[in-house]
């Protein structure tokens, strides 16, 4: 893609199911986010463990030094706090280990998003299913539903009021997806969201039982929010993982299945 990677050998260390202990991982991440001689931090993979780093990162200091940060899935735990008010735009996009299987269209879009100085325009999310009709504007925020829900009750979930909320997940059961969105709703976290996009639900089960499939259950729960909403967007755990910028002003036309970026993602 024309970028020069710089990789710390310690990224390949192991401690249980993590790439080293929490302090070592946090130290490497802090260094990557604060150093002057690189433009971006691109996560190698998701997995689990990002939220364990939050209390070790000095988020306010990092927010004052904007840098491109790319990742998705578990990386949602880093993307959202850093794109909170006072922070900077973060990119929910493919991790490095996903790049070999990433579609050419998703790769082109990602490069346009992080290299361009103008608003990137319409997001190529594919053909979308309208759940609730309407048009709206708001700040794009979201990521993995399981990880986002796990931030409830912590200081790390940014306000979702006024957001166009996007959600994806992987290998979850339908009732768990319903329970998570119910928790978000009952907590008041999504009370004033302006719109919703549902993306990939890879290996979420049941997959093909119409009324009770994971997607139909989650679509029904989203519809109950009563805001413009669409489903089937091409982002998440799939080969066409279209990158989405957290914290950017966007417009959503649920009638036409259209999401448009109204600001540049990087300065």
What is the per-residue pLDDT for 238? 93
Token reading at 101:
């299987």
Q: So where are the chain's domains?
A: 9-261
Q: Which residues pair with 197 in a beta bridge?
A: 166, 230
The whole-model pTM stands at 0.96
- pLDDT given at position 13: 86
* Separation between Cα atoms, residue 142 and residue 3, nearest integer Å: 26
Q: Which tens digits make up the pLDDT trace of 21-58?
A: 999 999 999 999 999 999 999 999 998 899 999 999 99
Q: What is the pLDDT of residue 8?
A: 85
Q: Which residues have a catalytic role annotated?
A: 73, 168, 237
State which residues of the chain have pLDDT below 50: none
Name the 3-class secondary structure at 45.
coil
Looking at residue 75, its pLDDT comes to 98
> What fold characterizes domain 9-261?
Glucose Oxidase; domain 1 (3.50.30)
* Short-list 147, 112, 240, CA closest to 232: 240
Is residue 193 within 8 A of residue 227, CB to CB? The reply is yes
């Amino acid at each position: 893609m024309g970028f020069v990677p710089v990789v710390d050998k310690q990224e390949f260390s192991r401690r249980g199911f993590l790439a080293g202990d929490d302090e070592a991982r946090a130290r490497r991440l802090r260094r990557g986010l604060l150093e002057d001689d690189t433009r971006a931090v691109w996560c190698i993979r998701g997995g689990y463990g990002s939220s364990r780093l939050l209390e070790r990162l000095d988020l306010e200091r990092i927010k004052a030094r904007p840098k491109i940060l790319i990742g998705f899935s578990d990386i949602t735990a880093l993307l959202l706090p850093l794109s909170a008010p006072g922070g900077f735009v973060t990119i929910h996009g493919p991790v490095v280990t996903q790049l070999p299987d990433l579609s050419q269209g998703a790769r082109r879009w990602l490069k346009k998003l992080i290299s361009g100085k103008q608003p990137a325009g319409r997001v190529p999310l594919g053909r979308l299913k309208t759940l609730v009709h309407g048009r709206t504007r708001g700040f794009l925020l979201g990521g993995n539903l399981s990880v986002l829900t796990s931030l409830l009750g912590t200081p790390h979930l940014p306000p979702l009021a006024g957001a166009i909320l996007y959600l994806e997940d992987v290998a979850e059961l339908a009732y768990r997806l319903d329970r998570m969105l119910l928790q978000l709703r009952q907590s008041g976290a999504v009370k004033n969201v302006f719109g919703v996009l549902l993306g990939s639900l890879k290996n979420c089960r049941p997959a093909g039982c119409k009324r009770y499939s994971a997607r139909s259950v989650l679509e029904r729960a989203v519809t109950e929010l009563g805001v413009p909403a669409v489903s089937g967007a091409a982002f998440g755990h799939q080969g066409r993982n279209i990158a989405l910028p957290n914290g950017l002003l966007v417009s959503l036309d649920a009638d036409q299945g259209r999401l448009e970026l109204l600001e540049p993602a990087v300065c």
